[in-house]
Homo-oligomer: A and B are copies of this chain.
Amino acid sequence: MRYCNRCGADVSFIVPAGDSLPRFVCNSCGHIHYENPRLVVGCVATWEERILICRRAIEPQLGFWTLPAGFMENGETTTEAATRETMEEAGAKIIVDAPFAMVSIAHINQVHLFYRGRLASPDYAAGEESLEVALVAANEIPWNELAFRSVRHCLERFLEDRASGRFQFHETALTPLASTP
């Protein structure tokens, strides 16, 4: 950020009076531009025993498989975001059951929230951001071609809970992967 979005003047990255963290503060009008983590909301949606997954048509992780999910928009609830993303990316109408997994990823300023849900019918179709969409059995999940660690976490917990007969709400945090020297 280089310019104030209210008056167009330059900004400085400084700690405002009474604050404890640096912010982009306008050198002219004084407006403080707060930046906050974003919520990514998605769904583990099933039809009978099968799970709905999408192969990404966009970066990052183009070509890899994911659960339908995306940035929550202003003006919607978390449930509405999960429903909308599943329709946009997988062409599938879902009945949302319950929040299922929440993953904080502090180093990219995101919180991922996945619901459990069921397809209203076995109809789906790749949206603009998907190359293909599939309903897969547990033993067909492409574990080595998953796009994101939060998706892996969610699918692992989902299969465990389903096997145990009791779904819980899961919370975790992911830290950066160690880079190989």
Contacts and interface: CB of A to CB of B under 8 A. Distances in A.
Nearest to A9: B8
A2 interface: yes
A73 B36 contact: yes
Interface stretch (A61-69, A99-107, A149-157): A99-107
Given A36-B39, A37-B72, A104-B79, A8 B2 contact: yes
A178 interface: no
Interface size class of A (residues with CB under 8 A): 35 or more
Nearest to A110: B74
Contacts of A7: 2-3
A131 B18 CA distance: 16
A13 interface: no
A8 B8 contact: yes
Copies in the complex: 2
A163 B33 CA distance: 43
Contacts of A98: 171
Interface in A73-89: 73-80
Nearest to A173: B77
Contacts of A78: 102, 104, 111, 171
Contacts of A166: none
A169 B101 CA distance: 11
A21 to B, nearest CB: 6
A135 interface: no
